[in-house]
Amino acid sequence: MSELLVLALKFAFLGLLWVFILFCGNIIRTDLFGRRVPVADAEERPPAAAPRAAPSWRERRAAKSLPSTLRITQGQQQGLTMELGQALQIGRSTDCQLILDDDYVSTRHARIVRGERGYLVEDLGSTNGTYLNNERISTPVPFTPNDTLRIGRTLLVVEA
Amino acid sequence: MSEVVVRRQRSVASLLMMLLALALGASGYLLVHLNQDGALPPDWLMSVGPLQFSGPWYVGVGAWFALGLVAWGVTKWRLPYADPIILPLVFLLTGLGISMIHRLDQADSLRSAELQLLWLFAAVTAYCVVVVALRDHRRLQRYTYVWFLAGLALLLMPLLPVLGRENHGARIWIAVGPFSFQPSELAKIILAIAFAAYLVEKRDVLAMAGHRFLGIDLPRPRDLGPIGIAWGVALLILVFQRDLGTTLLFFGLFVMMLYTATERVGWAVLGLLLILVLGFVGYEMFDHVQTRFASWLHPFTDYDRNLQVISAQFGLAWGGLFGTGWGEGRPYLTPLAKNDFIAAALGEELGLVGFCAVVLLYGLIVARVLRTALAATEPFGKLLAAGVAFVFALQVFTIIGGVTRLLPLTGVTTPFVSQGGSSLIANYILAGVMLTITHQARRPQVAPTAEEYASLSADPTQALPAVAAPRPDPADFADGPSGATEGEAR
């Protein structure tokens, strides 16, 4: 190959390498702030935001069988899932199986225990209370996949 | 009305960047042959033990493009909101590395580049497993002490009598059959996870006010336990493995994460002092560290012993501003050009302009991950991203600084670029963890719906009668805090 072509290819390669970096810079620049959208628009984005549709086969099956996992649907640890065993203690203390990083949660806040027909949730004398479907609970009550549990600012559901 | 920040996925831009990165990697490979022989590469030959695959050159290029696009596709599928440019940057560095290894193959007539592509296949598989299986980095937070033990075991593994292997004075390798492996590559990821999980739990204690000395908040002596243990382990590695690079990587990671978690300069100052002590101990105790220092400060006094450093220097000088061009220089004169000194080989053939671009590619990866650390909403992701970015940056700084004689040379690998399967796999796992954090940090947070938060503010406020409040008795406070705050959420 001629010297001139070698030289041209060399500079073309180096040029493309720097073009790549400039493209990176441009993507970073347009990505800096993100787009601000009103809350109302953003709600429709994640598919998890619309739970109250007609019950699918999955939901119906889940209602029949015993739930097996606990999922955090909202809060600091959103998206976290955990296996439900015989009993599960929730709170901020390290001896809890589910440690919530939430200022409104007590050291030992609530407990989920396995009953004969499903799981029960029980408040352990917490300061801010434990709410099942927005009602404060005082006795152990059944916790089914149709219910939403609120502890502090964290929302939890059980699923099969 | 409140607003939320939504980041675009940038799928098209990411795919175009990926294609450009793959094309640049492949064109390095082709340019080697075009420049040397004026023709396209003659054949593609991959031999693994008794098995042999061979074909025309475009088989290799096709495999390279396929690997890159599979990695991109899996990322798009599982982590749609992941950072759009980290993966193209990783693949561009890998491509430059494989092309340079192939260029060095032309001088010693080995087939290392084809083998490296096979390792890349394993690395992309490992990357896909991480991306598909992990998805949410917070799941890693649960096993703090298991990670600690695993990381320390990996770090200390080369000291085992049968497995460990000594190489160039440093005992940082293990060998199983024909494969040798540098476990510290994997240990750095595992320890970053362990430190992040540990510090999220304990940072409040470590950030408590201590003594103020010369304008710096120093920690209380009783909180020195963790940093003491980390320093002890670092000393252990230094004394028994005799490798300053691994020691600095491990201890530097710990000090930096401690500083990030507590936001206190005292820890960073203390850590730097301890690093200086480590360096001094290493220098005094080991001949080969003294050799490394001598070949850093006065390489030209002993030409025979410092051949590697000197010829890398001549290579960089010969490359000049724009380099000699792919395949036109003589980087093969440097011993170990394919792994330790691949940065010098790139500097010679791509010149200062290309070398700066490579350093900038690393810098962009680090910047993107640090940016994610700033954007992350929960503390574990923040710390993990900062730690992972820092250990990656420190490793690049150590080896490129060593090659360019900014620092004494240490035996860490050049991430994604240098030859070696274990390093490639470990760094692709690291990239998987990085992208998982970016996905979690960048995806739109589910906006709080009115119904769910209404109940929080609608909680009845209890009015307590103030008349019956008893006058506090000073004697109650004499024996320290009692259990009066028990019922409160703390």
pLDDT tens for B439-468 read 988 887 654 444 444 445 455 566 555 555
Residue B428 three-state SS: helix
Pairs across A and B, CB distance < 8 A: 159
Q: Which segment of A148-157, B362-371, B444-453 scores lowest on mean pLDDT? A: B444-453
A75 band by pLDDT with thresholds 50, 70 and 90: confident
How far is it, in rounded angstroms, from Cα B185 to Cα B178?
19
Q: Using the beta-carbon criterion (under 8 Å), do A80 and B488 form an inter-chain contact?
A: no
Helix (H) or strand (E) holding B153: helix B144-156
B138 and chain A in contact, CB less than 8 A: yes
- A83-99 pLDDT tens trace: 887 788 888 887 788 88
Tokens found for residue B66? 């396929």
Residue pair B369/B86 in contact by the 8 Å Cβ criterion? yes
How far is it, in rounded angstroms, from Cα A105 to Cα A91?
6
- The ipTM of this complex is 0.83
- The full DSSP string for B217-269 is EEPPGGGGHHHHHHHHHHHHHHHHH--HHHHHHHHHHHHHHHHHHH--HHHHH
Q: Using the beta-carbon criterion (under 8 Å), do A11 and B488 form an inter-chain contact?
A: no
Strands A69-74 and B164-167: unpaired
Strand partners of residue B95: none
Residue pair A113/A31 in contact by the 8 Å Cβ criterion? no
What pLDDT score does A48 carry?
A: 44
Nearest one of B488, B459, B489, B450 to A135, comparing CA atoms? B459
If you average pLDDT over residues B285-307, what whole number do you get? 83
- B244-280 pLDDT tens trace: 788 888 888 988 988 888 887 877 888 889 888 888 8
Task: Identify which has the larger pLDDT, B176 or A56.
Answer: B176
Of A44-53, B262-271, B397-406, which one has max mean pLDDT? B397-406
Q: Which segment of A26-40, B6-20, B179-193 scores lowest on mean pLDDT? A: A26-40
Å between B361 CA and nearest CA of chain A: 7
Vertex B194 angle, CA B78 and B207, to 5°: 120
Nearest one of B410, B386, B452 to B196, comparing CA atoms? B386
Residue B174 three-state SS: strand
pLDDT at B490 over 80: no
- A96-128 pLDDT tens trace: 888 888 888 888 889 888 877 788 888 888 888
How far is it, in rounded angstroms, from Cα B153 to Cα B150?
5
How far is it, in rounded angstroms, from Cα A100 to Cα B263?
23
Scan residues 90-129 of B and list those with Cβ closer than 8 Å to A.
92
The interaxial angle of helices B57-78 and B11-37, nearest 10 deg, is 160
What pLDDT score does B466 carry?
A: 58
Q: Which segment of A73-77, B211-215, B256-260, B480-484 scores lowest on mean pLDDT? A: B480-484
B356 and chain A in contact, CB less than 8 A: no
Q: Which of A4, A31, A82, A128 to mutate to test the interface with B (most CBs of B within 10 A)?
A: A31
Nearest residue of B to residue A14, measured between CA atoms = B354
Q: Where in B26-163 does DSSP place strands (E)?
A: 44-48, 51-55
- B215-239 pLDDT tens trace: 566 666 666 777 778 788 878 887 7
Q: Using the beta-carbon criterion (under 8 Å), do B487 and A127 form an inter-chain contact?
A: yes
B71 band by pLDDT with thresholds 50, 70 and 90: very high
Q: Which segment of A50-59, B58-67, B410-419, B464-473 scores lowest on mean pLDDT? A: A50-59
What pLDDT score does A23 carry?
A: 94
Å between B35 CA and nearest CA of chain A: 6
- B167-217 pLDDT tens trace: 766 777 787 777 777 888 888 899 899 889 888 887 777 766 566 666 566
Strands A87-91 and A98-99: parallel
- B328-345 pLDDT tens trace: 888 888 888 888 899 999
B489 and chain A in contact, CB less than 8 A: yes
A45 band by pLDDT with thresholds 50, 70 and 90: very low
Task: Identify which has the larger pLDDT, B319 or B225.
Answer: B319
A91 contact residues in B (CB cutoff 8 A): none
Which DSSP symbol is given to A153?
Answer: T
How far is it, in rounded angstroms, from Cα B453 to Cα B448?
7
Of A7, A23, A46, the CB nearest to B444: A46
What pLDDT score does B94 carry?
A: 95
Nearest one of B310, B311, B329 to B320, comparing CA atoms? B329
If you average pLDDT over residues B144-152, what whole number do you get? 87
